[in-house]
Amino acid sequence: MAQRTLQDKLAILSDAAKYDASCASSGTTRRDSRSGGIGSAGGTGICHAYTPDGRCISLLKILMTNFCIYDCAYCINRVSSNVERARFSPEEVVRLTLEFYRRNMIEGLFLSSGIIRSPDQTMGDMVRIARMLRIEHGFKGYIHLKTIPDASPDLVAQAGLFADRLSVNVELPQDASLRHLAPEKRPETIRATMADVRLGREAAKDRSHTGKRPPRFAPAGQSTQMIVGADQATDVDILNTSANLYSGYQLKRVYYSAFSPIPDASAMLPLIKPPLMREHRLYQADWLMRFYGFDATEIGSAHPSGNLDLAIDPKLAWALANRAQFPVDVARAPREMLLRVPGFGTKTVGRILTARRNGVLRYADLLRMGAIMSKAQPFVTLPDWTPGALTDSAGLRARFAPPPEQLSLFG
């Protein structure tokens, strides 16, 4: 095989990394380069560019190599695929990261890899890259390492010392589908790796009896990704899996990745159009679980099929299915109930609570404060607004659902 240029490798190994939905670079420790080295991190991450698929580029997201000994049907890099293969040397990854970083193109590195030879060998190389960046180059930017599930706990522990975030993908919402589509992977070892990361983070928070603080361990926490639409799991199944993951491993994020056709696809999976609207609804539902006090079954039971309504957002769907709890009196309702009003976001609710102390709130005030009143109208009462029979009217859903032909816009 002819020697590939850095540019060729970058093309192959960024193409291979594009199916990972994760991109965030926020929530880590605050640090900057005034005391040496290069880079800064902390606060909210920065998206340096957006691709036409609507996703942000915050990190240099690449694979160390796309050679892989596993045969996961949904993955372009599986051993049985005929895709072009390439491999970066650790030095090349470090150089690309630093040079892009210096030109203000990225916040840091998101490094994943196909599994070559063994999980330990692969994880060891990834840890080496992170160590070179941190120790040799004093890199203070963000590092996200994808943890190889079967790698030894020692290597995961080392990775946690250099990386801001660790992640291991659950891949599919149900164990049975993972066992079927990724026969070399095992759901229980994936979860055990997540448990190790959680325990590592907790151990790093306990001061020793001398009061010394242990080194930080994955300060930006851990995340995971699951592919949506490659198996038969319903949205309730997916959200229940997420609820288990959030509560069990204190994940910062679960990413949902609409299964998208891959070149040289396995015959096991259809080359379908990715269900982008479903993915979007799942993100909205996930948000409701994390910030609005909803639980998975509540959101999912709005529709008997166990799937989210594609035409309207999950909060609206829940409100329409639970109209007995509305309308809500904006002047008196507690925070928890305000959060359940469609059209009110967490910021709006915060503003309502502050403004309520200053006097009576009217319809126009809510509009100004960012409430989407076109949505909230049927669900609230205000001194100058009562929904009357609107809350219970039969045609309420039709007011919000877009006419069917518009759906094609989201395909």
Partner 1 sequence: MIRVTLPRFGRFDAWRQAARDLASARVPMEGVTWADPDTPPDLFGADPAPPPGDHPVIATQQFLQLARQVASHSDPERWSLLYGTLMRAQGDRRFLSNPADPMMDRLSRMAKSVRRDIHKMHAFVRFHELPSDGPRRAFGAWFEPEHPILEAGTPFFAKRFADMDWLIATPEGTARFDGDTIAYDDPAPRPDLPDDASHDLWQTYFANIFNPARIKTNAMRSEMPKKYWKNLPETRLIPDMLADAPRRVQAMRDAGATDAPAFAPKITARLRQQPDDSIPDTLEQAASQAARCTRCELCHAATQTVWGQGDPAARLMLVGEAPGDQEDLAGLPFVGPAGQLLHRTMAEAGLAPDRAWMTNAVKHFRFTPRGKRRLHQTPDRDHVDQCRWWLNLERRMVAPRLTVALGATAAFALTGNRKPLTPRRGLVEPARDGGPVLITWHPSLILRLPPDRAPAALAELRADLAQAVQMVA
Long-range contacts of 203-210 (CB under 8 A, 24+ apart): 204/160
Q: Which is nearer to partner 1, 214 or 293 (CB)?
A: 293
Binders of partner 1 among residues 337 to 356 (CB under 8 A) are 351, 354-355
Q: How many Å apart are CA 70 and CA 309, to the nearest integer? A: 36
Taking CB under 8 A as the criterion, the residue among 232, 244, 322, 346 binding partner 1 is 244
Shortest Å, Cβ 42 to partner 1: 10
Nearest one of 15, 19, 76, 17 to 259, comparing CA atoms:
19
Nearest one of 91, 63, 67 to 78, comparing CA atoms:
67
Dihedral Cα 18, 20, 23, 27, nearest 10 deg: -160
Regarding 390 and contact with partner 1 (CB under 8 A), the answer is no
Regarding 385 and contact with partner 1 (CB under 8 A), the answer is no
Taking CB under 8 A as the criterion, the residue among 134, 161, 175, 310 binding partner 1 is 175
Task: Tell me how long the chain is.
Answer: 411
Taking CB under 8 A as the criterion, the residue among 1, 2, 3, 54 binding partner 1 is 54
Regarding 67 and contact with partner 1 (CB under 8 A), the answer is no
Regarding 56 and contact with partner 1 (CB under 8 A), the answer is yes
Q: Which residues contact 158 (CB under 8 A, 6 or more apart)?
A: 127, 131
How many residues touch partner 1 (CB under 8 A)?
89
Q: Which is nearer to partner 1, 132 or 262 (CB)?
A: 262
Regarding 335 and contact with partner 1 (CB under 8 A), the answer is no
Regarding 19 and contact with partner 1 (CB under 8 A), the answer is yes
Regarding 36 and contact with partner 1 (CB under 8 A), the answer is yes
Quick check: helix, strand or coil at residue 383? coil
Q: Which is nearer to partner 1, 11 or 321 (CB)?
A: 11
Binders of partner 1 among residues 288 to 317 (CB under 8 A) are 295-296
| Alpha helices by DSSP H, 19-162 | 90-102, 119-131, 153-162
Are 262 and 77 spatial neighbours (Cβ–Cβ below 8 Å)? no
Regarding 29 and contact with partner 1 (CB under 8 A), the answer is no
Regarding 329 and contact with partner 1 (CB under 8 A), the answer is no
Quick check: helix, strand or coil at residue 298? helix
Shortest Å, Cβ 49 to partner 1: 6
